[in-house]
Every structure is written in structure tokens, then in C-alpha cells.
């Protein structure tokens, strides 16, 4: 199978590419080529695999690649929410125009490839006419309150329509906030959900900009990647419709995230997080889903992470496996 991963240089995309290479097959067919299209280079271990072909540059410059005949596509490249709010044109180009170009390339190739699009829980938001329920479900009416969420929703509908027309076999999976994101904080307003775990584990003092009672739907990177692959492999009949599906969420209170940190890493680590309300972030978060349900993903056999403790333990194990104990886990008691 010839597979394309857009955004394969990013957090979820690189992990997905690694998992695909390790499995070596999708739907029982060997992966012979894994193309990565990203404006940033992927990690060295991916570059070293002979099956990987890297295409560096913006997606808008990759039209010939998209029309070159892929059997399967994971479309993850995207500008993040904060970036799209700061730069309206960038959001349109990166998230809407690029997706249109990709879909048209696949249509031109004419082989009806299977495609999974990484949509987001950010398609949901409160509107005066459509208040948010406590948990957003597969069939909650999306009313995005950001450009990012709007583009994700537009792409979901484009993919459903290209699928209806038989140009591709597309499906959109709404990712929950993926925690714990390694490395440096990014431009997403949700960045602190990872920061309040990652920074204290590294020995760095940090602040939590929202109250302990805020709840949020999260998922680990391993669970997210597993879900993306399962959604790819599901037959159209098993999916049961072309509309986007929510991926499973662990709906967790910020106070319980910090309690889990204390349970896993000890009170000294927990004490590195101080509550310091940031009115701007708190207002953005107040417009987000407080929790999510995922009945359709559940019907595919997908489940949320077992606990937030397990999510933190996964991050610690990943950092150890990557040899990053000193930098990422320097705050753990010896």
C-alpha cells in the first residue's frame, strides 16, 4: 500500500507514521511506501526508514504529489487554533485551501483512496441558539467559535461530499485534546493541559490559568493513534454514515489531573503548579466542550484511556524510551 501522512512531522503525525511502519500493514496489505508531506522535517528515525519518502514544503505546493496515486491518506497537517486566530489568511490557506487541493489531487488520481481526516472537538462551541450540552456527542450540532473549528467543520463536509460522489472513501475523526504533548508549549490555547503535567515533571514551575473545577475531554497520543488507524480500517458499513465521529474522551477535571500528577510523581512535583487565573485563556476555555461522548467510536471497539494516571505514566514511559530522562523528567524525585 502506498500511504500518505500529511503533518507527519508533527506530534500526532510522527507518532502515527512510526506506528504504521512498525505494523508494516494496513487492512492486511503491506505498506510499501509511506510518504510524509509537511513543512517541517519529520524526526530522524522516520527519515532512516527506507519506506519513507519525505516531501517538505507547504501542502499548497504539493499538487503533483497528491495526484500521484495513493491507496490511503491520513490528513493531519493543520495550523493550530491560536495561529488561526492570529492570522486569518494563514488559517484559510493551511486548513481549508490545502485540504481542497489534497482532495482534488486524490480525485484526479481516480482510484478512490481511503482517507482519514483529523478533525477536532473544536467544531463544537456554544451559540445563543445552540447552548453546549455537558457532553458533546456524535450528533450534537457543531457551532464552532473559532476559525480553526470552522475550517475543520468545512473540511468534514467536503470529505463527506467527495465520498458521496465516489471520489474517495473518506472519514473524519474528531480528536480530543491530546495529552501529554512533549517539547515546548505551542500556540494552542489548550497548551496548558499538557503544560501543567510536562513542566513540573521536568522540574519547571508553571501556572494553571483556569480553575480546578474546569473539565475537559482528553486522550493520550497512543490512544489517538490507535483510534485513527481503527477508523481508517473500518468498513463504510461499520462506520455507519459519512458524518464525522468523535474519538473517545476521558472527561477530566483539572483538579483531578493535578491529583493524578501527585499520585504518580509525588507532592513535590505537584507543588510546582500554581493556580493563576488568566482571564483571556479562561474565557476561551469557557467556550469549549466540557466533556464528550463517542458512541460511534465505541461501536468500533474504541475506548477512552483508562485514567489520567495512565496518561501520565504513558508520557513518562515515552520520555524514558526516547532517552529524555534528564531534560523531560528531571523533576521526578530520584
Ligand X SMILES: NC(=O)c1ccc[n+]([C@@H]2O[C@H](COP(=O)([O-])OP(=O)(O)OC[C@H]3O[C@@H](n4cnc5c(N)ncnc54)[C@H](O)[C@@H]3O)[C@@H](O)[C@H]2O)c1
Catalytic positions are 148
11 part of the interface to ligand X, by CB under 6 A = yes
Instruction: Give whichever of 217 and 331 is closer to ligand X, judged by the CB atom.
Output: 217
Of 126-134, 175-183, 251-259, 312-320: span binding ligand X (CB under 6 A): 175-183
Q: How far is the CB of 117 from ligand X (least distance, A)?
A: 8
Pick out residues in 33-72 that bind ligand X (CB under 6 A).
Answer: 38-40, 58-59
What's the maximum distance between 2 C-alpha atoms anywhere in the chain?
Answer: 59
**CA 98 to chain CA mean position, Å:** 18
CA dihedral of residues 9, 97, 216, 245 (deg, nearest 10): -100
Let me know the angle formed at the C-alpha of 76 by 196 and 301, rounded to the nearest 5 degrees.
80
C-alpha cell at 312: 501520565
Instruction: Give whichever of 174 and 332 is closer to ligand X, judged by the CB atom.
Output: 174
5 part of the interface to ligand X, by CB under 6 A = no
251 part of the interface to ligand X, by CB under 6 A = no
Instruction: Give whichever of 12 and 201 is closer to ligand X, judged by the CB atom.
Output: 12
Q: How far is the CB of 237 from ligand X (least distance, A)?
A: 26
CA–CA separation, 157 and 166 (whole Å): 14
Helix axes 308-321, 254-265, angle to 10 degrees: 50
10 part of the interface to ligand X, by CB under 6 A = yes
β partners of residue 208: 275
Q: Name the residue whose CB lies closest to ligand X.
A: 10
Of 78-86, 250-258, 268-276, 325-333: span binding ligand X (CB under 6 A): 78-86
**DSSP 3-state percent helix, strand, coil across the chain (nearest 5):** 45, 20, 35
CA–CA separation, 255 and 37 (whole Å): 39
Q: How far is the CB of 120 from ligand X (least distance, A)?
A: 4
7 part of the interface to ligand X, by CB under 6 A = yes
Nearest to 248 by CA among 279, 225, 232: 225
C-alpha cell at 179: 495529552
Q: Which residues bind ligand X (CB under 6 A)?
A: 7, 9-13, 38-40, 58-59, 76-80, 94, 98, 118, 120, 175, 177-178
Amino acid at each position: 500500500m502506498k500511504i500518505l501522512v500529511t503533518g507527519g512531522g508533527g506530534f500526532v503525525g510522527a507518532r502515527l507514521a512510526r506506528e504504521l511502519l512498525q505494523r508494516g500493514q494496513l487492512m492486511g496489505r503491506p505498506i510499501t511506501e509511506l510518504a510524509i508531506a509537511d513543512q517541517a522535517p519529520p524526526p530522524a528515525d522516520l527519515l532512516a526508514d527506507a519506506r519513507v519518502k519525505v516531501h517538505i514544503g507547504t501542502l499548497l505546493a504539493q499538487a503533483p504529489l497528491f495526484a500521484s496515486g495513493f491507496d490511503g491518506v491520513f490528513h493531519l497537517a493543520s495550523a493550530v487554533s491560536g495561529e488561526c486566530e492570529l492570522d486569518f489568511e494563514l488559517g484559510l490557506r493551511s486548513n481549508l485551501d490545502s485540504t481542497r487541493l489534497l482532495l482534488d489531487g486524490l480525485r484526479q488520481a481516480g482510484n478512490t483512496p481511503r482517507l482519514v481526516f483529523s478533525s477536532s472537538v473544536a467544531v463544537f462551541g456554544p451559540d445563543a441558539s445552540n447552548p453546549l450540552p455537558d457532553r458533546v456527542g456524535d450528533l450534537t450540532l457543531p457551532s464552532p467559535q473559532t476559525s480553526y473549528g470552522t475550517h475543520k467543520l468545512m473540511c468534514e463536509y467536503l470529505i463527506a461530499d467527495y465520498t458521496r460522489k465516489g471520489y474517495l472513501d473518506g472519514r473524519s475523526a474528531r480528536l480530543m485534546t491530546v495529552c501529554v504533548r512533549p517539547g515546548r508549549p505551542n500556540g494552542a490555547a489548550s497548551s496548558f493541559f499538557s503544560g501543567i503535567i510536562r513542566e513540573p515533571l521536568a522540574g519547571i514551575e508553571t501556572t494553571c490559568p483556569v480553575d480546578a473545577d474546569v473539565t475537559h475531554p482528553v486522550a493520550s497520543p497512543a490512544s489517538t493513534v490507535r483510534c485513527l488507524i481503527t477508523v481508517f480500517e473500518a468498513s463504510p458499513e461499520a462506520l455507519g454514515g459519512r458524518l464525522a465521529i468523535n474519538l473517545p474522551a476521558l472527561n477530566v477535571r483539572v483538579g483531578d489531573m493535578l491529583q493524578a500528577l501527585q499520585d504518580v510523581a509525588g507532592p513535590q512535583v505537584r507543588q510546582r503548579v500554581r493556580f493563576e487565573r488568566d482571564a483571556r485563556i479562561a474565557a476561551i476555555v469557557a467556550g469549549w466542550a466540557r466533556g464528550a461522548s463517542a458512541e460511534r467510536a465505541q461501536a468500533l471497539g474504541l475506548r477512552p484511556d483508562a485514567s489520567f494516571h495512565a496518561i501520565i505514566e504513558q508520557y513518562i514511559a515515552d520520555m524514558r524510551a526516547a532517552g529524555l530522562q534528564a531534560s523531560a523528567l528531571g523533576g521526578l524525585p530520584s
